[in-house]
Amino acid sequence: MFNYLKSSFARKKARRITQEYPPRVESFNLGKYGVIDYAHWTNPLAPKISIVEETVSFFNQFIKEGDLAIDIGANVGDTTVPMALCTGKTGMTIGFDPNPLVFKILQTNASLNKDKYILDAENCAISTIEEEFYFISSEASFANGAISPSKDSEHGKFVQPNKVKGVNLKAFLESKYAHWASKLSFIKIDTEGYDKEIIKSISDLILKYKPVIVAESFGKASDEAKIELYEVIAKNGYEIYYFEDFNVNAEVVKLNTAKDMLNYKHTINVYAKPNT
């Protein structure tokens, strides 16, 4: 009972009072991928994460040693680290996240496991042009949130004091990561409902390099928004699949038409592969 009350108080405090929560590093044995260190965020509102072999194997279907993989909306790195294990020491994974507090944990994960991968962390949002945004949350500890051009936002009342940079992904890659751009094989997007807008903003990159794409469809989004997400991906020459979880053994269903997106009332992930 005491532990429950203690945890409840910590969560209430995190919702109301802004403070930083440090990383806590844990080791996971991932079978054929070996033992890795992973930095958790000790924010009481952050989800509990376990890194498992089946998650790495899911990404390994699409990402190989030596590739470039990108995680847009990487958060603390719970999918970024498995992706980096796939790109390995001869490839690169880049995690983008505009939240300055989770970014510090992502940076910690980028600093770990140097014998297994190259992982770069970028504290940026992805946008059509180079611009700046506020990062806003409904929680004082910024366990959730999104970017906004103004401080007045539906995302909440808690605003980070410093703006975050928005960059055009294609221009950013071809400038800072020019050596890697041609090796791009995979892009994961998880941006609190902005996934289809992100895909629109990187359509030139998608058309040029044809990476596999993972995106999220919000359950509370309108039918029109779900259909548009399908269409903005498919028009680039992609087949689209629902998958139940980031697990190599999870159910996968091909979505043959945009209206198939409406079969799912809850939030789902889809992956898209270029037509062969």
Per-residue pLDDT of the chain (276 residues; tens, 9 = 90+): 556 567 888 889 999 999 999 999 999 999 999 999 999 999 999 999 999 999 999 999 999 999 999 999 999 999 999 999 999 999 999 999 999 999 999 999 999 999 999 999 999 999 888 999 999 999 999 998 889 999 888 878 999 999 999 999 999 998 999 999 999 999 999 987 789 999 999 998 999 999 999 999 988 889 999 999 999 999 999 999 999 999 999 999 999 999 999 999 999 999 999 997
Q: Residues 83, 93, 126, 130: what is their CA dihedral angle, to the nearest 10 degrees? A: 180
- Dist. CA 255–CA 133, nearest whole Å: 35
- Dist. CA 148–CA 113, nearest whole Å: 34
What confidence score (pLDDT) does residue 5 get? 61
- Dist. CA 164–CA 147, nearest whole Å: 8
CA distance to 55, 85, 132, 208, 213, per residue, from 98 (Å):
24, 23, 10, 25, 20
Residues listed for the chain? 276
What confidence score (pLDDT) does residue 4 get? 56
What confidence score (pLDDT) does residue 125 get? 95
What confidence score (pLDDT) does residue 142 get? 94
What confidence score (pLDDT) does residue 109 get? 98
- Dist. CA 107–CA 105, nearest whole Å: 5
Neighbours of 89 (CB within 10 A): 14
What confidence score (pLDDT) does residue 192 get? 75
- Dist. CA 161–CA 216, nearest whole Å: 29
Reported CATH class of domain 2-274: alpha beta
Interhelix angle 53-60/80-87, nearest 10 degrees = 60
- Dist. CA 244–CA 221, nearest whole Å: 18
What distance separates the 2 farthest-apart alpha carbons in the chain? 58
Which residue pairs from 250-253 have beta carbons closer than 8 angstroms and sit at least 24 positions apart in sequence?
250/58
Q: Residues 247, 253, 254, 256: what is their CA dihedral angle, to the nearest 10 degrees? A: -140
Q: Are 195 and 231 a contacting pair, CB within 8 Å?
A: no
What confidence score (pLDDT) does residue 131 get? 93
